[in-house]
């Protein structure tokens, strides 16, 4: 808890993360089910959304289930998806993180000689420092759209046991990711944000030997020191994920003592391809892009 003394001193303690904003949505959902024949079930669904900021969208979904014999069922689905950027992604937000060490090319243009505080023409404190990165909202983001389909079957060799196997394939367009996930530490940065000019210790010599700490002279900077590096959210070109799910269900009736039900499931991810900036990244077998809602892959 922040103490009154620290507040009076201008110190803000806690997680340097915020998100501000709102979105208005009106939606209507409908579903139709039918059985043209006893062994066949067809489902059609649709959802219509109207957003104040991003307009409207209609997302359909269709499903079919066919049971030719009591011990086997074949099923499949096809559908579309739609998601608008959240307040954190598209309205107003900030999340600070350590972006590693950095040397300011303007305020530290020369290499610091070994054992010296600064090279000639360098501001010593700007030669290698911990850079702060800030993940920011991007008001120019596009909504995320997707198509998905599944196909599988359910086997029930005996009454108490059933096994299901389903293949899934999902393709997402304009998925929203932080720019630092787009291939390289500084690949997605839009700018180095500088503060006002300051007076900092400076090495005034032209000698390539550089300066020791005692030789530095406080000198006004030509530009302000770097405050942080801005990393906005961006739309990836696409993400494609595929894999399969396997499930085992067991039901044991104990009569007047009740019943026992056990379930086990297993998912295997075949591919997780992220395409952004013309570069393709295969993330299957990893924890996925860590900046997107934590780990999203399936190791």
For the chain, the helix, strand and coil percentages under 3-state DSSP, each to the nearest 5: 5, 55, 35
Residue 183 is predicted with a pLDDT of 47
Tokens of 52: 């104040």
DSSP code for 8: H
Facing residues of 210 across strands? none
- pLDDT tens for the chain, 299 residues long, are 344 444 444 444 555 677 788 888 899 999 999 999 999 999 999 999 998 888 889 999 999 999 999 999 999 999 999 999 988 888 888 888 887 888 999 999 998 998 899 999 999 999 999 888 888 888 899 999 999 999 999 999 988 999 999 999 999 999 888 776 554 444 545 588 999 999 999 999 988 999 999 999 999 999 999 998 888 888 888 889 999 999 999 988 888 888 889 999 999 999 999 887 777 888 887 766 655 444 544 33
Residue 1 is predicted with a pLDDT of 39
Residue 185 is predicted with a pLDDT of 45
**Domain boundaries in the chain?**
20-282
In which region does residue 207 sit, left (phi positive, over 0), alpha (psi from -120 to 50) or beta (all else)? beta
Q: Give the integer Cα–Cα distance in Å for 79 and 149.
A: 6
Q: Give the integer Cα–Cα distance in Å for 147 and 57.
A: 14
Which residues, in sequence order, are CB contacts of 189 under 8 Å at separation 6+? 133, 179, 180, 229, 230, 231
- For the beta carbon of residue 90, count every other beta carbon within 10 angstroms: 23
Q: Which pTM value belongs to this model? A: 0.72
């Amino acid at each position: 808890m922040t103490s009154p003394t620290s507040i009076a001193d201008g110190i803000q303690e806690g997680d340097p993360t915020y998100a501000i904003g709102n979105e208005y949505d009106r939606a209507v959902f409908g579903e139709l089910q039918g059985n043209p024949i006893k062994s066949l079930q067809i489902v059609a669904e649709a959802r219509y959304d109207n957003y104040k900021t991003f307009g409207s969208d209609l997302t359909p979904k269709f499903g079919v289930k066919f049971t030719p014999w009591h011990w086997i069922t074949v099923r499949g689905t096809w559908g579309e998806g739609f998601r608008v950027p959240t307040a954190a992604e598209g309205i107003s937000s900030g999340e600070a993180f350590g972006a590693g060490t950095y040397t300011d090319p303007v305020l530290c243009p020369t290499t610091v000689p070994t054992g010296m505080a600064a090279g000639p023409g360098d501001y010593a404190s700007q030669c290698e420092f911990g850079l702060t990165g800030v993940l920011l909202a991007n008001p120019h983001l596009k909504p995320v759209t997707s198509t998905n389909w599944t196909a599988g079957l359910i086997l029930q060799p005996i009454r108490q046991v059933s096994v299901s196997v389903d293949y899934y394939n999902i393709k997402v367009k304009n998925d929203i990711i932080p720019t630092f996930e787009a291939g390289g530490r500084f690949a997605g940065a839009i700018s180095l944000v500088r503060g006002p000019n300051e007076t900092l210790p400076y090495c005034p010599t032209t000698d390539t030997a550089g300066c020791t700490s005692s030789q530095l002279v406080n000198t006004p900077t030509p530009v302000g020191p770097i405050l942080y590096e801005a990393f906005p959210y961006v739309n990836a070109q696409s993400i494609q994920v595929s894999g399969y799910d396997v499930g085992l269900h067991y039901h044991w009736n104990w009569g007047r003592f009740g019943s026992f039900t056990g379930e086990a499931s297993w998912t295997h991810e075949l591919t997780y391809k992220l395409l952004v900036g013309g570069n393709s990244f295969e993330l299957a077998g990893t924890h996925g892009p860590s900046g997107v809602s934590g780990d999203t892959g399936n190791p």
